[in-house]
Every structure is written in structure tokens, then in C-alpha cells.
Amino acid sequence: MAGEGSWDDLVVEAGGKRLFVSRGSHVLAVDTASGKVPGDIQGTEGVHGIALAPELGHGFTSNGRSSTVSVFDLPTLAVTSTVKATCENPDAILCDASSKRVFVNIEDKNEIAVLDAQEMTVAARWPLSP
């Protein structure tokens, strides 16, 4: 895709209507049928990951440079709030439907963390190095 900045993460909306692409300082919403860009989510400095919670009508981005999470409205793509992350430089992000929580992981650990969403603990860590 043309445009300023490289891309980091891609997420397809349920039903495959839109593809969300993180582009460093913003997120493009691309219509998968036409290839057109009906929306551009701004104010996501250092955006890495994107998580969608269609049952809540919201999406979330992990913003590494500002160490924040942006909350956006799925129908309008407008950012509704920004929350300070509990870690520096958040990267991976996911929504857990059963607990209705959003989790972010930092990028410099070189590991996979297994989360227990009910107990709010890290159940296991698997190193990715060397």
C-alpha cells in the first residue's frame, strides 16, 4: 500500500469488510472489496497492534511512542479516548471476550506470554531467543 510510513500489524474485521493497517502514526481502514480507504484513524503515535471488539463496537490500538492505548468507535473510526498503558512501548494487543479486558504486551522481551485473563496473571512464558 502506498503512503507514508511502514506497516506493522494487519487485522481483518469479522465478516472481512475492512482491513486495518497500522502505519506508524495512524491506522488505515481499507475496504476489502474496493481497496479504497474509507477511514484513517489519527493520533496513534508509534502504533503497533490493533484489536477489535465488535460486540462492544470498539477497536483498540497499542501506541508504542506515547505508551498509550487508543479506543476508537468501529462504525465511525473516531478515537473516543486514550488510556495510559501500564507498560512502556506497548506492542501486541488483544481483546479477551470472556473477561471483556484488553491486554497489551511490551515488545522487548523476545517471548510469548500466556495470559490467564480470569486470574490476571501470566501463566507461562516461552522464550523466542536466540
Question: In the chain, pLDDT over 90 holds for what percent of residues?
Answer: 70
pLDDT on residue 53: 95
**Does residue 46 lie within any of the structural domains?**
yes
pLDDT on residue 4: 67
Counted domains in the chain: 1
Kindly report, residue by residue over 55-101, the tens digit of the pLDDT: 999 999 999 999 999 999 999 999 999 999 988 899 999 999 888 89
* pLDDT, averaged across the chain: 91
**Does residue 1 lie within any of the structural domains?**
no
The whole domain housing 102 covers 10-127
Q: Are strands 101-106 and 90-96 parallel, antiparallel or unpaired?
A: antiparallel
**Does residue 115 lie within any of the structural domains?**
yes
Instruction: Check whether 19 has a pLDDT greater than 90.
Output: yes
Confidence of residue 107 (pLDDT cuts 50, 70, 90): confident
Instruction: Check whether 3 has a pLDDT greater than 70.
Output: no
**Does residue 93 lie within any of the structural domains?**
yes
pLDDT on residue 56: 92
**Does residue 3 lie within any of the structural domains?**
no
**Does residue 5 lie within any of the structural domains?**
no
**Does residue 43 lie within any of the structural domains?**
yes
> Which residue would you say has higher pLDDT here, 85 or 4?
85
Q: In the chain, at which residue ranges do the beta strands (DSSP E only) sit?
A: 10-12, 18-22, 24-31, 39-53, 58-63, 68-73, 79-84, 90-96, 101-106, 111-116, 121-127
**Does residue 31 lie within any of the structural domains?**
yes
pTM: 0.88
CATH number at residue 34: 2.130.10.10
